[in-house]
Chains A and B, each alone.
Chain A
């Protein structure tokens, strides 16, 4: 069991009030973590940690300040409270500062699968064994796999505690575990490729098996062998779920109240408008029973809910924490997220593009001459305009069949244009690779830069 910090949080809130804060909240995160890396059968790293941090936020005369510390000793925390009240003097009044509306505070009372006792009960030996098994299975997948970057098992138990001066006090605990394998394969000519696969979840029984992860890692690295550039062209592109969810993450950022009131978004003034193909529906659901990002309340204590952001291509609403909501004269959507080191900000929970009805293999079959995009990389996405130009790799498709791996190319375009040009949506939505998830998407055309 982890230490209960509800009293500490509530006492600190009263202390801050006593020292003159108009409003205050205290956010505490504590985490016990374990991590091991195995490489070529040998343990490379064993790591254990007990970690905690505490953040204070105050509002006085309309101005806001925050402080944080990892030292929970009574005197250190009292000192910090006093210093917070000093710093707030330097900050300026902003009429939009404040806590979340009282009537939205609370805990979601439906079933949430947050904490798995069986993860806490696993011995280090068992974890090492799983990592070894995953790597071994991957190495055996193909004789061209000759080296490995390492296979890591990680798990953690963490606890979030929040108290504010409107009487909210809440706390929840959660577990998480992941297993990732990364391998190297080598061509006849000595060219090396690397790739891997992973699984993660809150519950042990939701993770893919070590063998399945190892095998998939092997499949992925081997299919990169023989990768080459292609000619620059404008062609249909199939977005692998990982690439589609990368773009989805950017759309969420663009729909965040913080980006909207700052006018740093391509979705400014677009609510009610068609911004994507009618095949696209986007939702953020913090109440999915088995969702890895599910939680009873957000980082401001707003009760969790499910939010539809885009419905059949039409932008329905912006996602907001309480500050952005006040700026835009909207209601918070329960999307506040924060670390103990900072102020709340808009963040996603379980964010996804709704499943379509086409099998991913049928999407590939429908492409005469085009690219299957496995990965994009680099920082070439401009979130203000939606323009992107990124490094990429994938596989070429001819007459519905994969012909060869493609590397050292770029893809460029605009997020809104890509979303409007969706021609098919796969039925393969899965949260196994991340809390931002998408099915496979077919895009009518994109520009590839190569030879």
Chain B
């Protein structure tokens, strides 16, 4: 099982949905402080004295640090197919993860049974990573830490009436069907969740956060004679029902239909090295794969990444400034606080082509002797945190998209993507287009069948020859996988020209069989 880090688009990582009276009455983290109640009381029926006991037990065998992560996730899912609600689903997952840290060693245990005896059993299991048998156990205080509010919500989708949600679904469904008579199938998905988290660690820190996640998606099949193609799009973020004020449900349906119909007319691409212009927003998959994962600090203190030990060196063309920032309001990769209590920041990874630093968590920051960047994230209570991206983007340059396209006589314009993958050791990455075109004499012409672009991260970044002035962020939908853990991420990029990159096609340029 090789270490591969990847990105996928779609609702793979999400699960279920909806609201009941009981859930609607439950409180939001921000409000709960005002009301004098806490998520801990509301969802876990655990008190702070119990948490102290659990943390002390976790430290009992000599660990230097311990933390405990409570999660109560309510999720809702509506799946609409063939003009009806095919499935309505909702669920509650609650659990607690307990971690003991000694140097860069981790003892970890989790359970869904949030009772003191079960937590103590888990604490003892986690504590076993240390074996000093020196009684370092101490009573741990838990003081409230204030966290920011980067996901203000007007109307939480998970508490919204299902019939109201259904009206948006029907709107998208009708728009997709009306787009073209070639559309033979439309699936609409409405996935949302709210994850209530309570966290305490042996530094005496305690915080709570309620993390909403929203995704609305459309999938279409278009048929023309024997040809059959699909189109997919979706959007969302850490946002509520007000999402539909910025992007209409009908537009999402129409967009999926447009891509499906477009791909019916797509031509076979030529295989080989070509000049590629990457469109704004989704092309940030390139950043995510080519540099993002390689700059996660765990890979670097272990010297596993091709960027290990290269801070201060030139690793990209001078046009590239890459930033990871978890603070953009309502974005999918945004966090009020990372999953071990650190405040997320705006971290400049590459500045004018020079490597400035890595994204780290508590353990890797200590190993590298640098300040924590607040990138310690985890999929759930059932996984320990590790360095992860939040919202990663390339700062804009000076060219308009038109100026960039004009410089290309013959090449590929890539606009939409299904995902990407990277081998962080060598830096070889792959990313797969769902919408791309040929460029002929500076103009976007015929659509090409979904192609894959491959390259070597450090190499490709030196070949970024022009950066546009049209920075755009993706509209939700992206989920990043690393070591078996999935987390929602955001990303952005302006139009970018890469002077050469290998394109995977079925035709070979200028020759027949080898």
Contacts and interface: CB of A to CB of B under 8 A. Distances in A.
Most chain B beta carbons < 10 A, residue from A66, A70, A233, A392: A70
A256 interface: no
Interface string B85-111: 111111111110000000011111111
Main secondary structure of the interface of B (DSSP, over half): strand
User: Which range contains the number of A residues in contact with the other chain?
Assistant: 35 or more
Interface stretch (A132-140, A155-163, A357-365, A374-382): A374-382
Interface stretch (A13-21, A297-305, A309-317, A402-410): A402-410
A387 to B, nearest CB: 6
Contact of A263 (B90, B223, B452, B506): B223
Nearest to A64: B87
B450 A87 contact: no
Contacts of A195: 2
Interface stretch (A46-54, A113-121, A329-337): A46-54
Closest A-B pairs by Cβ, 7 of them: A410-B504, A391-B430, A449-B271, A233-B514, A379-B419, A378-B430, A380-B432
A293 B106 CA distance: 31
A382 B450 contact: yes
A87 B90 contact: yes
Contacts of A244: none
B38 interface: no
Interface in B117-150: 118, 122, 125-126, 128-129
B18 interface: yes
A167 B19 CA distance: 31
Interface string A64-105: 111111110000100110010011101111100000000000
B68 interface: no
Interface stretch (A36-44, A169-177, A277-285): A36-44
B92 A389 contact: no
Given A184-B425, A194-B304, A377-B4, 20 more contacts: A43-B129, A45-B108, A46-B126, A51-B112, A64-B86, A64-B87, A66-B88, A91-B86, A152-B1, A192-B306, A227-B426, A231-B514, A232-B508, A234-B514, A262-B81, A378-B420, A389-B504, A412-B505, A449-B272, A450-B273
Interface of A: 39, 42-53, 55, 63-71, 76, 79-80, 83, 86-88, 90-94, 124, 147, 149, 152, 178, 180, 182, 184, 191-196, 198, 227, 229, 231-235, 262-264, 266, 268, 341-343, 369, 375, 377-380, 382, 384-385, 387, 389-393, 407-414, 445, 447-451
Contact of A90 (B85, B418, B423): B85
A232 B111 contact: no
A165 B94 CA distance: 28
B496 interface: no
B58 interface: no
Nearest to A35: B108
A288 to B, nearest CB: 22
B162 interface: yes
29 contacts: A45-B108, A47-B107, A48-B122, A50-B122, A51-B110, A65-B87, A66-B87, A67-B89, A68-B92, A79-B22, A90-B78, A91-B88, A180-B1, A182-B2, A229-B502, A234-B508, A235-B514, A263-B185, A264-B230, A341-B16, A375-B2, A378-B419, A378-B431, A379-B6, A380-B430, A389-B449, A390-B432, A410-B452, A448-B271
B162 A90 contact: yes
Contacts of A55: 91
Nearest to B15: A341
Contacts of A264: 185, 221, 230
A90 B8 contact: no
Contacts of A378: 419-421, 430-432, 452, 454
Contact of B503 (A50, A262, A385, A410): A410
A46 B502 contact: no
Contacts of A382: 229-230, 450
A86 B21 CA distance: 11
Contacts of B251: none
Contact of B506 (A192, A341, A413): A413
Contacts of A86: 20
Contact of A87 (B15, B18, B86, B122): B18
Contacts of B273: 450-451
B449 to A, nearest CB: 6
B94 A410 contact: no
A149 B382 CA distance: 22
Given A182-B2, A378-B419, A391-B452, A46 B106 contact: yes
Contacts of A70: 92-95, 112
B105 A44 contact: yes
Given A195-B2, A229-B502, A263-B228, A407 B428 contact: yes
B91 A44 contact: no
B24 interface: no
Interface in B423-464: 423, 425-426, 428-433, 449-452, 454-456
A401 to B, nearest CB: 18
A49 B91 contact: no
Given A88-B88, A232-B508, A389 B229 contact: no
Contacts of B306: 192
Contacts of B449: 387, 389
A66 B22 contact: no
Nearest to B227: A385
A405 to B, nearest CB: 11
A46 B452 CA distance: 38
A46 B98 CA distance: 12
Contacts of A391: 421, 428-430, 452, 454, 504
Contact of B508 (A233, A268, A409): A233
Nearest to B125: A48
Contacts of A43: 105, 129
Contacts of A193: 425-426
B371 interface: no
Nearest to A196: B2
